[in-house]
Amino acid sequence: MDFLLIVLGSLTVAGTLILLVPHIRNALTSLPLPERLRLPPKKRPSVLLESSPLNEKTGPTKSKETWNGGLSEDRVVGEWQPVQFDYPRVEADTSFDVNTAKTPSYRPFRWGKYYVTMGIRPMPWDEWLQIDNRWPHYHAIKVDRMAKQGTNVVRTEEPKTGIPGGALPAKELVHEMAEYLSRRFPQMYTVTRKAPLPGDFGWYGEGEIKTIRIHAPAPAANGSLDESGHDDEAHRGRPVGSRDSAEGYNPGVDVTYDLDVEDPMSVAGLLVQDDLALMVEGSDGRYYFQAGSICLAGFWRMIDKIGLPLEEIHTRGRVPQYETKLHLSLGRFFSKLRLDKPVVRNNYFVQVVDTSPVAASPSPSGCPMSTIAPLSDAPHPLPTPTFDANAPTIGRTSRLVDPDQIGWSDSTNGPEGVFDQGPKAPTPSSLLAGTFEPPAPTSDVGAVRLRQERQSLRRLPRSGAVVFTIRTYIDRFTSLAKEKGVPGRLASAIRSWPEDVAEYKGQELYRDAVLPYLDAEHAKQVAAGIFVEGEKSSDYPF
C-alpha cells in the first residue's frame, strides 16, 4: 500500500504486445484456467554489453575507476546502455523442502514514536527470492486470481512517447528469476537451456533458459505447518493450505513453462509467492509502472496504478506524508540505485477478515479444490474482465481458496469491483445503488490479522528497470501475542501512529478489539517473567 506496492501494465492487440495466459498443467485452482497463447517468434537484436568487474561471490569489485554500478555520469536520462552484470554465485539450499520450509518471522514494528521513512537495508544476494511452506497456498490464490481477473492482475505496457515499454524488462525478469530459483532451490526448480549465444539471457555463459519446471510434491499426510511456518496441533495431518476446506488446496504442482512461448509476467508471477512490479525510467527522469504481476495486493488494484509515474501512484493513493517525507528521497533513490546495491525493506498493515464458517464444499465452478485439470494447447488470450458495479462479487476469489483475504480484503475495503483508491472505500455510485454494506468495527480479535510485506528492489542490468518483489505474510493477532515481547511492542506501535497514518491503516475497524487484548497479553508476559518491562530490542525487522 505504500511506495513499494506498485503494479502493472496494459494489453493491446493486432500486431502489438499481447498478454498471454501461461499453460498451467496440474495447477492448484478451483476453476480451469485459460490456455496458453503462443508468442510469435521474434529476433532479438544483438547488443554490445558494457562490462562490470566482478568478484565471484560478492559481485562487482569496489574500484570506482572501473565500476560505477552501471550508472554513468554522462548517461542520458531515459536511456540505458545494457551492462554485462553477472549475479554473484548463488549457494544452493540443499536442505530445502517446500512443504517444511518455515516462513521468516518478520515483526517490522517498533517501540515508541512512528517515523515515515523508506527504511531500506542491504539485500544479501542469496535472499533475493524466498520460498516457504505457504508457496502452494499462494500459488493456488494466484492461479485463481489470474483466471478470474485476467488483465486486471497481469499486464505489460507498450512504449509511449518518452516512456519505454515493459516487454524487455519483463523478459529479462523472468529469465533472472528462472536462473536464480533453479540455482537456489534445485529440488523445486529445474531448467533446460539453449546453446550459448552472445548477448543471450543466460548466466555465466551457460546458455539461455528454454524451459523451467516447478516440482512441488504434495505434503506427507502425517504433519503440516501452519501459515506462520509453525507446527499446528489443530490441523496436523491436513495438507498445507487446506485449513478451511476438506478438499485441500495442495495435491502437488508439477508444471513446465516454455520461456519462448509463455507470457513473461504471467510465468514470473506463478514462479514465486511475491507480487512483482517493474518501474522504467522515462525521458523526463520519472519512473513509470510499466509491467508486473499483482495478484495479492489486498488493499489496492493494479488497474488504478498501471502506467503512472511513481509520484502519482502515491499521491492518488493518498499515502500519508508522501509529499513532505518521501517524495524527494524516493526520486533520488531511484535515479541512483546501482546494479550492485539491491535493498530490502519491510512494512506492515492490519486487516480484518470474515471468520464465519465456510462449508467444505466444491468451489462455485463445481470443481473441488483438489482437482487437477490439465489444459489443452489451444491458444486462448488472457481475459479482460470489466468490473460491474451492480454485481461486485463477479470474479471474486472464494474464501475456500483465500480465507485470510490475501488477494483482496473485502472485509476491510469492500468489494474489489467498486473500490475507490482515494478514500479507500467503495465508489459513491455503488453506495447510492445500495450494493455495498460498509465494514463495521470488529470486537473479535480472532478476526484480526497482521499483514506484513518484505519488499526487495534491484536494478536489472539489460533494461535498467527497477524490479520490486513484494512478499506478503499474514499472521493472526492471537498467534503473535504468544511471542516474547511482541504484544507490548505491537500495541505501542499502533498507538504511535499519527492521525493520518491511523486513518490510512483503517485503525477504527480493529483498534477497540486489539489494544485491550495486546495490553492484557503483555501484562501476562511481564507477570510470568517472560518479558522484562522496559526491555526494547534494537534488532530490525525483529
Domain map (residue ranges) of the chain = 50-357+383-527
Burial 489-510 (b: 16+ CB within 10 A, else e): bbbbbbebbeeeebebbbbebb
495 has pLDDT over 60: yes
CB atoms closer than 10 angstroms to residue 529 = 7
Comparing 424 with 48, the larger pLDDT belongs to 424
For residue 59, give the 3-state DSSP assignment.
strand
Tens of pLDDT, residues 277-302: 999 999 999 999 999 999 999 888 99
Q: What is the mean pLDDT of the chain?
A: 76
Residues 209/201, Cβ–Cβ less than 8 Å: yes
Name the E strands within 298-342.
none
Question: Could you tell me the pLDDT band of residue 156, with boundaries at 50, 70 and 90?
Answer: very high
Q: CA dihedral in degrees (6, 153, 318, 351; nearest 10)?
A: -100
Residues 322-346 have a mean pLDDT of 78
Comparing 170 with 418, the larger pLDDT belongs to 170
Task: Give backbone dihedrals phi and psi of 46, rounded to 5 degrees, phi first.
Answer: -70, 145
Question: Could you tell me the pLDDT band of residue 230, with boundaries at 50, 70 and 90?
Answer: very low
How far is it, in rounded angstroms, from Cα 487 to Cα 482?
8
How far is it, in rounded angstroms, from Cα 516 to Cα 499?
20
**Is the pTM for the entire model greater than 0.85?**
no
